[in-house]
């Protein structure tokens, strides 16, 4: 009986439903130029940025901070197993709160497919 209880507890602790995921989100208080630099880096280095392209599922809201969070999280999830961090020169931070919203699901692991270099660099004009 005791062994069965230990097994049940072990299974529950290993359940993905009980494990909090880390998401890499951009700091909205950062200057637009800093956030844009994070987008350019992440999308240029292999993050899947098709979702924040004009016809993508996560294009709206069309805001630099929102697009930055998608790009940073996509990059972080893809490369975290090889040591990637969520900082982007201070533009981003880790959060356990899922930033997904209606029609736009943020990846919480690298199991999602990624399409490298799929985002047009410097989508925003910085003045």
- The answer to whether position 84 is within a domain reads yes
Q: What pLDDT does 2 receive?
A: 62
What residue ranges of the chain have pLDDT lower than 70? Answer: 1-20, 110-127
The model scores a pTM over 0.85: no
Number of H helices, E strands in the chain: 3, 2
Q: What pLDDT does 126 receive?
A: 34
Number of domains in the chain: 1
- The answer to whether position 1 is within a domain reads no
SS3 21: coil
Q: What pLDDT does 109 receive?
A: 84
- The answer to whether position 40 is within a domain reads yes
Full residue range of the structural domain in which residue 70 is found: 31-127
Q: What pLDDT does 124 receive?
A: 40
Q: What pLDDT does 11 receive?
A: 41
Q: What pLDDT does 121 receive?
A: 43
Q: What pLDDT does 99 receive?
A: 95
């Amino acid at each position: 009986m005791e062994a069965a209880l230990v097994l049940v507890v072990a299974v529950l602790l290993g359940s993905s439903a009980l494990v909090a995921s880390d998401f890499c989100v951009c700091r909205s208080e950062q200057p637009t130029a800093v956030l844009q630099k994070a987008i350019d880096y992440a999308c240029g280095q292999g993050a899947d940025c098709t979702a924040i392209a004009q016809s993508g599922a996560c294009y709206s809201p069309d805001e630099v901070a929102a697009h930055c969070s998608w790009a940073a999280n996509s990059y972080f999830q893809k490369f975290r197993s090889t040591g990637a961090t969520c900082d982007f020169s201070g533009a981003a931070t880790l959060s356990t709160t899922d930033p997904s919203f209606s029609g736009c699901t943020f990846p919480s692991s690298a199991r999602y497919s990624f399409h490298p270099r799929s985002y047009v660099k410097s989508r925003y004009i910085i003045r």
